[in-house]
Structure 1
Amino acid sequence: MFKNRLFKNVLFRWMPHKEQSICEKRLIKVVKRLKVENFNFNWDRNSCFVEFTYQGESYRLEHSVDKAKEKGIILRNGLDCLNELTQSLEDLGLIIDRGMYDFDTWIAGMRQSPSVEETPEVQDELQFKYKTLGKQAGEETIALKPETSFKKFDENHTSSKRTQIK
């Protein structure tokens, strides 16, 4: 299809960045249309999120490649997820513009719960029981005297000299 190699390289280098900027501009436009002032968004390899504050409440919308895969939708990366999320927000904006429902009604179930570390009420106690198998093959028992000290050990072994090989 593309015979000019330079044109093909320029086109393919331009497309991903163009797609990203188009998606971000669409998201900014739809968020302003929904009258949301403070918002934050990000996408990575497999997922995306949009966080915003509306009338003093925090909300977070998330989408991922795995969630889409469970529903039979094939998405390549987080940017595709962001495109889908943006499209959903645009559809929501159209419903609100028709006067069917308010924005408050739609986002009531999307409140972001405060991030509090969950501590379990009951901590499980693990107990390990070891069962001895008796004397193992090749195992020798060494009886130690309770009064044995290193001084006596040194005295007993320094008198016997080792033979040296010359």
Structure 2
Amino acid sequence: MLGSEILYTAQQTRALDHCAIVEHGVPGIRLMARAADAAFRHLMARWPAPECVQVLCGTGNNGGDGFLLAELAHKRGIPACVLQLGDPAKISGDALRAREAALAAGVSIMPFADQPLRDAGVLVDAMLGTGLGGDVRGDYATAIAAVNACDAPVLAVDIPSGLCADTGRVLGCAVRAEATVTF
């Protein structure tokens, strides 16, 4: 029998993050780094010798986790690249700091539209997180279809892109991930 787990709504997880940052003084970038580390450790445990790691990043904090995961892979000698969705000019706060750290470490960041996905290695879904409120459209829907058509295994950070965090309902389309790490 599985042990019981406490599940939180998207709003409750945002409140927990806010509490850690505001009331306990934990910098948001540190929370992001912890999430990236947990996801990277799971990736390496499940797929111990990936040929490469392709991380699809959105413009929010889920993307920030992905940038830092790509940086961890790169620093460990695993070829890693980020495929950016959305306008990079809209990235702000901790997600921007994470993107800048990945770039400074030498991680290649390219627009998603310019790069086909490779079937080799591991794909990391860090496109859309718990804040998704409506159906997935545009480049994000295109990226989700490409991920689902790829033969590479997929690790989702926090939640597979396209799922409603509160209900699990598919919002238009969703990534089919082999594993999901939430922190």
TM-score (norm 2): 0.26
TM-score (norm 1): 0.28
Q: Choose between structure 1 and 2 for higher RCO, CA contacts under 8 A separated by at least 6 residues.
A: 2
